[in-house]
Structure 1
């Protein structure tokens, strides 16, 4: 498990970064699961595994002079194999709930396999989160001092009811600007649908902080998509103003959760750039922990963001440091398409046509400083 180090020329923007690999565990039939650990010049560390291309650790600098692991997860392969909550996993082909699961894709009826109460959810029973992804390391000496891992997975025609073979490439890159850059590229042999986020559970206080109640969330979205009691979008697109879903000026999550309709959020926000394609990621959300000064900015080219406040987690879920992952112990900021978009004509289309490809980029950018307040971002395209 030796470190591989790269050192760039003095005076350049790049610096030393490190990477190491080892076997994280094995599947029941003996196939090894690889762990990749990256570190930038500031001590920010990213850990990912080939099972579900999962992010299993992300340590970032805080105001106390140390680093804090802001991603919840597990210590062993066995625990990830039992995981029902998609901790750190790539979710696909389509994240969220699809109901009805019998859908029309470019005039063709496709029967997606339901995996919860007659609803197709998060790619089905054997989605991207349970696949072994092939991987190769990315080692570059460019102006950003980037290093990373490139994962690849081929989803077979008919897998979980989806038509067409889908080739997915996913890159995790760690920069010396303390950014985690996630780049997604997909191509298909037949008309199909997709919406693929990485299901990261964040707690900016690390394992010592039991919940996210004091975190301050900002979402740069003027509209959201309401859901019914089963968390299925109704098809409406509604202004957030005057509702519990208005996070444009930032607010503490504890009081916000208390005013939410279902004791927590599991909802899609329509990002203000949703219906205009972007060539570069746009700022869409901010998360701040006042206890240690850790800030997270989220930028994406995706049209929507699902905010999930861990409503279905429970005290029996024990994390990698022995922490309890109970309800509202962490938050997911999922850059993706609108849930159930294939069944709602006025949502951005999730269809990827035969012979075409699609690319998206999401950036999680970390900084550290104390903040007196949170004002609405006036230029969210920067």
Structure 2
């Protein structure tokens, strides 16, 4: 059963900006609570089939919980998701820029002042949709360029949560890598080792001893990262693997859509958020199936679609499926990180559809 949240527990002033909690409700019964601190998904409550709701996303019941707890819980991650080795950013001209570090020697999830630690400005609120904005500044993360991010969240009648963003590059070439960091547990509580995961990816990015990419791709065949066919998460993490030991568990990037087993997610999510929120932009083209996660015990399932080329799969507090660009891509020529130019607009989306 989903617990009730107190809005007052999320209302504070951080760095001179007000924080709050917003609850979106869809016609199909899905209910999503969002804090503008880090644009975090605080609660994702789906119908339990018995007239109630069950919360299938991990979170805290107050803003203080997020300030004291797991740093990425439910947050929107940017400007660059994942690690940049030794805090270094290789520039197109061959120069190397030093960024602030916050995960050992590495720059991680946007650094110590990344979007997960920022209060977003709320510009539009509707019963089933929310618009938030944030400006990435060089003085916060040392990455060149100002980027104006607009994030639209909307709950669709088919119990899908649409997250769509535009990032406008203002004044200098820059890199952008946005993802969502929600932890899911479709059982509502307990272990997720009994969950079954399928991802259409035949290759993954192996990690070096410093938990950053080696810069090559390897086959998932015979590894804990082979989810081309439905596989119990517990079986994958129990497999002996140097890669799992290096990462402290399952925390690896899988490359989507090259080959692999079909993931049957049903019809593709609607390409537009209309008429849910008439003023919001459409979900961008290019959505691809990312993952199918299911809990056989409850019969619940989560279908994930996104515009990203791959997904970071993290089995930690719950199961985190982070569609994103290749990790540490600017520092690996083979990963072909794109440098966006002033005036260009980056568009991306993640769609989570809940069934069962």
TM range (shorter): 0.7 to 0.9
Counterpart position of 1:357: 345
- The match for 2:225 among 245, 249, 259 is 245
Structure 1 position 190, deviation (Å):
0.8
Within-5 A mapping of 1:31-42: 31-42=17-28
Structure showing the higher helix proportion among its residues:
2
CA distance in 1, matches of 2:306, 2:14: 37
Aligned partners of 1:212 and 1:229: how far apart in 2?
27
1:201-244 CA deviation, whole Å, 9 max, x = no partner? 111111xx221110001011111110023321101111112222
Aligned to 2:179: 197
SS at match of 2:294: strand
2:145 is the alignment partner of 1:164: yes
- CA RMSD, Structure 1 to Structure 2 (Å): 2.1
Runs of 4+ in structure 1 deviating by more than 6 angstroms, as ranges, are 20-23
The change in CA–CA distance for 1:254 and 1:155 in structure 2 (over 3 A counts) is: same
Answer yes or no: is 1:265 the counterpart of 2:253. no
> Normalising by the residue count of structure 2, what TM-score does the alignment of the two structures yield?
0.85
Offset of residue 63 of structure 1: 4.3
Report the equivalent of 1:373.
none
Give secondary structure in 2 for the equivalent of 1:355: coil
Check whether the contact 1:224–1:238 (CA below 8 A) recurs between aligned residues. yes
Taking the aligned partners of 2:293 and 2:18, their CA distance within structure 1 comes to: 35
Q: Is the 8 A contact 2:152 2:163 kept in 1?
A: yes
For structure 1, which segment, 285-294 or 228-237, has the greater mean C-alpha deviation from structure 2 after superposition?
228-237
Partner of 1:321: none
Separation in structure 2 between the aligned mates of residue 54 and residue 345 of structure 1, nearest angstrom: 32
CA distance in 1, matches of 2:294, 2:64: 32
Give the Cα separation in 2 of the matches to 1:31 and 1:100: 32
Cross-structure match for 2:96 = 109
Pair 1:123-2:103 in alignment: no
Q: Give CA-to-partner distance per residue, 1:287-340, whole Å, 9 cap, x none.
A: 001111111011111111000111xxxxxxxxxxxxxxxxxx401000111110
Q: Does 1:283 align with 2:265?
A: no
1:135–1:217 Cα change, 3 Å: same
Quote the Cα distance in structure 1 between the aligned partners of 2:115 and 2:332: 24
Kindly tell me the number of residue pairs found equivalent between the two proteins: 320
Give how far 1:22 is off.
6.7
Give the secondary-structure state (helix, strand or coil) at the position aligned to 1:185: strand
Whether 2:120 is the aligned partner of 1:133: answer yes
SS in 2 for 1:257: helix
Q: Distance in 2 between matches of 1:75 and 1:129?
A: 17
Q: Note the residue ranges of structure 2 that are not aligned, 5 or more in a row.
A: 1-5, 260-283
Unaligned runs of 5+ in 1: 1-19, 140-145, 311-328, 369-382
- Select 2:213's aligned residue among 230, 233, 242: 233
Alpha-carbon distance change, 273 to 176 in structure 1, aligned in 2, over 3 angstroms: farther
Instruction: Trace 1:1-382 onto structure 2 (pairs within 5 A).
Output: 24-27=10-13, 31-107=17-93, 108-137=95-124, 139=126, 147-188=128-169, 189-206=171-188, 209-259=189-239, 260=241, 261-262=244-245, 264-272=249-257, 279-310=285-316, 329-368=317-356
